Chains A and B, each alone.
Chain A
């Protein structure tokens, strides 16, 4: 069965630190990958997506993610976080015709 796993449930870091959130998926074949963010009390918003082409994807708010096919990974990065990046981050994957499957989420707390 298709699955998405996120390595860390909670991450705490200080402002200006670099952030990397791990994500692995278990599909064979073509897959589309997404990162969503959920700020406290708000709905999920799309940060970035990968369909094809350049495996390094730029998203909003300074986030980027790298698709490494050989490792079935799609890790999210941000070089320097801000307090406003405190949120829960969800990795998701979708194979052709299938539903979007989410990872368990990573709660990120950025201390000012």
Chain B
């Protein structure tokens, strides 16, 4: 049973370009979470999605960031017009249920974004 798959593992973008980060949840998981880990900081929640729905995007910056989890295919975190401050590790996690408490999150290996 494959775990949470994220790609690419490393992504380098110049300022102003777009970054697309992909996450395929574990089989049977329909809830996806995105977290950002900045250097020397902990993980900050960004967004929580179910298939075709954004449930909680309270951690998403208001501009340039968007996320989707379509009916078919992986979840995508999209960052438009990247700036140096977007450089971070972005982790995706999934769970079989979202509201239920007894479902720990399973994390992917992360995508390390570097903006030059």
Residues of A within 8 A of B (CB): 6, 30, 32, 34, 36, 42-46, 49, 51, 90, 94, 96-97, 99-105
Contact = CB atoms under 8 A, between A and B. Distances in A.
Interface residues of B, number: 25
A102 B41 CA distance: 10
B107 A43 contact: yes
B69 interface: no
Interface stretch (B12-20, B42-50, B79-87): B42-50
Contacts, number: 52
Given A96-B99, A97-B99, A104-B42, A44 B104 contact: no
B100 to A, nearest CB: 9
A104 B41 contact: yes
Contacts of B11: none
23 contacts: A6-B42, A30-B101, A32-B102, A43-B91, A43-B107, A43-B110, A44-B93, A45-B107, A49-B104, A51-B102, A90-B43, A94-B101, A99-B33, A99-B56, A99-B58, A100-B33, A100-B93, A102-B43, A102-B45, A103-B42, A104-B41, A104-B42, A105-B41
Interface in B14-53: 33, 35, 41-45, 48
A43 B92 CA distance: 10
Given A43-B91, A44-B91, A90-B42, A100 B107 contact: no
Nearest to A4: B42
Nearest to A6: B42
Contacts of B7: none
B88 interface: no
Contacts of B102: 32, 51
Given A43-B108, A44-B91, A51-B102, A105 B42 contact: yes
